Amino acid sequence: MKTYELVDRIIGNFGFSPTPDQHNALTVFARFLADRRREAVMILRGSAGTGKTSLAAAIVYTLHTLGQHLVLMAPTGRAAKVFSLSSGMPAATIHRTIYREKKFTGVEGSFDLNFNFHKNTLFVVDEASMIGNGSAGESGFGSGSVLYDLMCYVYNGNNCRLMLIGDKAQLPPVGEEEAPALSAEELEGYGLIVYQCDLDEVLRQGEGSGILYNATRIRKMITHSEMTQLPKIRFRGFSDITVMPGNELIESLASSYSNIGTDDTIVITRSNKRANTYNQGIRNTILDREEALCPGDMLMIVKNKYITNDDPDDSQDNNPKRNPGNNAKETFIANGDRCIVRRVHHFVDLYGFHFADATLAFPDFDNLELDTTVILDTLMSEAPALTRDQNEKLFNAVLEDYQDIPTKPERMKALRKDKYFNAVQVKFAYAVTCHKAQGGQWRHVYLDQGYMTDDMLTPDYIHWLYTAFTRARDKLFLVNWPKTQIEV
């Protein structure tokens, strides 16, 4: 098919008359697809309101109808769900797609790169600004660089290639100054031939949105180096963005939970400490949760884990503390995945830690339900997950129970099946940091930026604010927003 014919096909499925930016993007994409060199890669960059999501959906739909093999991915479960809903095709997380568990050595698992069995396939990755290049490291996963591993996985396939979609104004990965997966120079360093384009024009459909209007102004502070003072937010004339005084917060959150549900309501903060304060207050004051963990609680996974889901008919266990089962099915859950507690079966204190057996449902994965054990010590910790010292303490304490097993490989095998050592590490997810919220969208977002002064204005803050604003779909509540940051 000729380049112009593919462009016309996509435009026919787009539903709008494309802007010059969008038409150029489609032309670049058609040239990329027609390039027979195996090293070709495509970057589609676009900020909020430029139609990037709709254009990507039209591209995916058109290629699917033409018989092109496609694999859709995103960095998080929430982002994969959003991509799937917009494109009409299933999407999975990058980690679930490209990694497999290699071995178990004790405190940390190890994950190798999967083999790419696909042929003649286009891999499309949304929210690519979140893909890191390894400066902060991903312990136990492949090379430690998700971007490098993604390149290796895709281009080791038979005539496979990659398209990366993202917003370079969002927060870059931890430890990075910019998003490496959206940088042509970075990808050229991998020996790839880069096709790239940018969508910058905000569409008329978004002109009535205060969220989009203000996000666009904040983004321009990044692109035009206008960071001389804290951004002033315009509220006048918009119904989807409002100041939320602290004395009205509890009532407003309760209304959001009642009207649209806890899964579509989120509080975004600047720190884990502040998120913990919110989570505790929400559970105690609004939800009347008295136990450490209750049915209906919204949780976030804070450490990658393979969960072994036992066969309920196989309940024999030589150790009364454990029941790993013999007919287990493993499911990978990733750091950042959200889940809802369906049932709490019982609590137990062992090895100096607190645990609960619970049934968890994952709304971003078709409400998949898993019966598993969670560790409660991470719920309100200011650390991202169990510390290294805590991990080693748990490892050594549980290992003591298996000293009767004569060989180390067999002890490690038993430890790997131990439900307490393998307890899922979780935090409450009513309030999260912006990095944890990135990639997802919620109908109602409550944003607490905390105390800010002009001398705290940095590029990181502007990226943070833009990313936080663009998490909101319907309504953005700015909690205790200072008058000095309100446009009169």
- What is the rounded average pLDDT of the residues 389-417? 91
Q: Is the pLDDT of residue 139 over 90?
A: no
pLDDT level of residue 144 (50, 70, 90 thresholds): confident
Q: Which of 212, 208, 165, 203 is nearest to 18 (CA)?
A: 203
Could you report the per-residue pLDDT of 258-292, keeping only the tens digit for each? 999 999 999 999 998 999 999 999 999 999 999 99
Could you report the per-residue pLDDT of 238-247, keeping only the tens digit for each? 999 999 999 9
Could you report the per-residue pLDDT of 302-339, keeping only the tens digit for each? 988 776 555 443 333 434 333 333 334 567 788 888 99
Q: Is the dihedral of CA 169, 483, 227, 456 positive or negative?
A: negative
Taking the mean position of all CA atoms in its chain, how far away is CA 388?
24
Could you report the per-residue pLDDT of 150-178, keeping only the tens digit for each? 999 999 999 999 999 999 999 998 888 89
Complete domains list, the chain, with CATH:
3-203 (3.40.50.300), 208-488 (no CATH)
Q: Is the pTM of this model over 0.75?
A: yes
CA distance 239 to 414: 57
Angle between helices 52-65 and 3-14 (to 10 degrees): 120
